[in-house]
């Protein structure tokens, strides 16, 4: 008995036609969203990041992340528009379960990633800035900022790879974030020395130094009456601070003041200690030290 193939063909053609139509819808929809995203969304995000004055190195990973989001959105919308509802639901379920598992396994990575985004948006420091963190335990110059870690070169020429969360969970000190930096130094003079004369010398040496700003000017205050000295604290400002300028300027200034103090016979006293007690002597023995 012969089997007529036409009914099978007639039944298969509509099924293939529907599948081909869905595939065309999927491809066209994805292509449109991808092209529009690359042509409109990515440049728009780039302009927004530029408006926030982010550096090029900071904008690059965020733009890459935007392109990835565009691809995912394109896939999702294309699946739905093509009528792959059941497949899309299953894919979403699997993706949610995978995301949950990955989230538990990569908590630290995600935490550092989010911290990196905050660093990019809040801009507590930039590449080239001198920063201190962990209560001053660590310090150095920022060499690179990524979405997971920040690389800092210490002043001993060591490279520290710091998780971003370590820089966002605590206090960061950025001495060079502003256009100027105030420094201070405590000068100690003897109780018999002329305080006004010493103050004039401290101010004059600050005004002579090219690295110290005239406006705001230097100020000197008596802040401490120590056991063996009178403390005069000098506060002065430097322009366009960096660590090398800070160390050099303060060292030269303190040396100049010390030399002037020597010329003007102003004493910088050494710390003194007074020991009290008594020593008893009995014949040939000293109390506590008997002969054997």
Q: Could you give all domains of the chain from N- to C-terminal order, each with its CATH number?
A: 8-105 (1.10.287), 124-173 (2.30.30.60), 180-263 (3.30.70.100)
Q: What is the pLDDT of residue 98?
A: 58
pLDDT, one tens digit per residue, over 169-207 is: 888 888 877 778 889 999 999 999 999 999 999 999 999
Predicted pLDDT of residue 223 = 92
CA 191, 194, 196, 201 torsion: positive or negative?
A: negative
Average pLDDT per block of 10 residues along the chain, 292 residues long: 48 61 78 82 78 66 76 74 62 62 65 81 84 86 86 89 88 82 91 93 93 90 89 91 76 94 87 65 53 46
pLDDT of residue 9: 45
Indicate the average pLDDT of the chain. 78
């Amino acid at each position: 008995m012969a089997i007529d193939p036409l009914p099978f063909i007639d039944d298969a053609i509509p099924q293939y036609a529907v599948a081909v139509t869905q595939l065309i819808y999927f491809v066209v929809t994805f292509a449109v969203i991808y092209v529009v995203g690359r042509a409109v969304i990515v440049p728009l995000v780039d302009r927004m990041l530029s408006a926030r004055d982010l550096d090029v190195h900071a904008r690059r990973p965020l733009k890459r992340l935007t392109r990835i989001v565009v691809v995912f959105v394109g896939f999702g919308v294309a699946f739905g528009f093509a009528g792959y509802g059941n497949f899309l639901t299953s894919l979403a379920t699997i993706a949610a379960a995978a995301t949950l598992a990955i989230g538990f396994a990569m908590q630290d990575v995600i935490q550092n990633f989010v911290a990196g985004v905050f660093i990019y948006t809040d801009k507590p420091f930039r590449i080239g800035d001198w920063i201190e963190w962990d209560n001053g335990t660590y310090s150095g110059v920022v060499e690179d900022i990524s979405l997971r870690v920040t690389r800092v070169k210490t002043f001993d020429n060591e490279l520290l790879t710091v998780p971003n969360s370590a820089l966002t969970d605590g206090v960061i000190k950025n001495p060079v974030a502003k256009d100027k930096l105030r420094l201070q130094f405590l000068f100690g003079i003897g109780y018999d020395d002329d305080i006004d004369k010493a103050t004039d010398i401290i101010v004059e040496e600050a005004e002579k130094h090219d690295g110290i700003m005239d406006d705001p000017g230097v100020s000197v205050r008596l802040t401490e009456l120590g056991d063996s000295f009178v403390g005069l604290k000098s506060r002065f400002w430097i322009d366009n601070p960096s660590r090398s300028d800070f160390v050099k300027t303060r060292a030269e200034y303190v040396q100049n003041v010390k030399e002037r103090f020597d010329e003007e016979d102003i004493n910088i006293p050494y710390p003194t200690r007074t020991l009290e007690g008594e020593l008893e002597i009995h014949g040939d023995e000293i109390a506590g030290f008997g002969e054997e």
